[in-house]
Structure 1
């Protein structure tokens, strides 16, 4: 399969590989402007990924040194990872929504040990067994704590605003859920092939053609606010459905039309999943116990250690939604806390 694709109207994409990940690659978009090419996302910070990006830009008729800016849909490393190297090579600015910029700053400033203590406490409160918690404590005791220093953005993507891209009409749409500061970018220009609808949408991970993005709790060691990421995501989906773009240009898989149809599928999927969880909550369960019983792409016993953190976070996000909508409640005085259907 070709590494680059021309989507017409001064928009091309590059398949940038994600190491050891079933998603395979991130679609990095190259948008021509009167001030020079701008990227939507950059891909994972890995030597092979960097080489693919550099070679892809050459194949697109430009080069890494000519990039003038990067628009980051959200802070995850398969989107934001190579921003620092792009900026070093080209002097490009990096723009991100303020909520995700705050996460980048916090990631850079928070000592790794603090994250281990935080995650251990959260997992224990969710009912994780001792055999799952022990490796976290052992890693902290050994001092084997990874450092992570993602590139700081130097511009803010403001929802509703037209971005400062000479010769283009690209508007930011805030779509929280997958992350608190996820944005989609709406190219308010006639579709180059004349497809019916309202322009084109760079959807990041918010709207994908064949999979659903992970919706877990927003993690912040210093903020105990009870957020509702799944509620945020469902509201954001409806907003994009009303927009009705002619074509969606996602960060994974492939481009597709009929965004309202895909939105309806995803809304129905999540409502069905909430119903399935309510059935499981006929007896009180901790978030960990609920995650063990939820339907995943493989049996729980085969889910890797690190992926179980993600699964439990997703279970908790669904529990938050059920509690907020009055369909489940916490059992008084349970420790760790259990939840039951109302």
Structure 2
């Protein structure tokens, strides 16, 4: 239903329009208060790059964060990641993510990013605390923020926005009548726009998510999708149809497609009932980080990697490398 409302296919968005106007006014005032200096923002001692979005729901932001961290690591930079840690409930913040940190404490995305990149990751609702926590124990060249485009209390040096190329901006209205956190005109102010799927427009960077081999949650064994028995597909991400469509594009027809809410807290009993003895349960990597402790031998996940295309990709990375070099030079003098 919410997809129909946000896309404009349902007239119910008109009922929510007054709340959207209020939401837009509040977000505008918040940003204005930081721009005018009525509220204070904080600048980190090293460059900060925000990877965020203008809309609610899954746009492919986390794969972009992983891609960016790995690309900067390949260029010799020491990158750290900070996140709000949505869905996690730690006793105190900042929380530094380690190999033993559970998703119940940190949230699923920070744990996934830490596992995939081996980069230092810290979580705190106030991202300044997360940055300070990282820099207290790590000598870093750059901080990448997973989300936080609208978190103006933290100053940033570069902004990257990820857009769902198929859904774009729906009906264009603010939450809750539409999917927008900020209006599309905000794109004119950011440093790069990455479009996940669909067609990139103008200077936008085209991106696709490419799946690898399926990985067993218990044994770590790998297999191509066509080697798996009957597949029951599940996804608890911002936009589950993206995962199901990925399987279809690989020629896989699942016997069932089961969508959960984003950041859903799974239980062993809940997932064990989804398959019989002849079937396997195939999930996203984001789901897998929450299920490893009680995984069954017939549970698999499908990792995906972001692939960006176009000459402006190198331009974006070179700009961040130069930014870090200048900041490092300034600190040494």
TM-score of the aligned structures, taking structure 2 as reference length? 0.28
Structure with greater strand share of residues:
2
- 1 or 2 for the larger relative contact order (CA 8 Å, sep ≥6)? 2
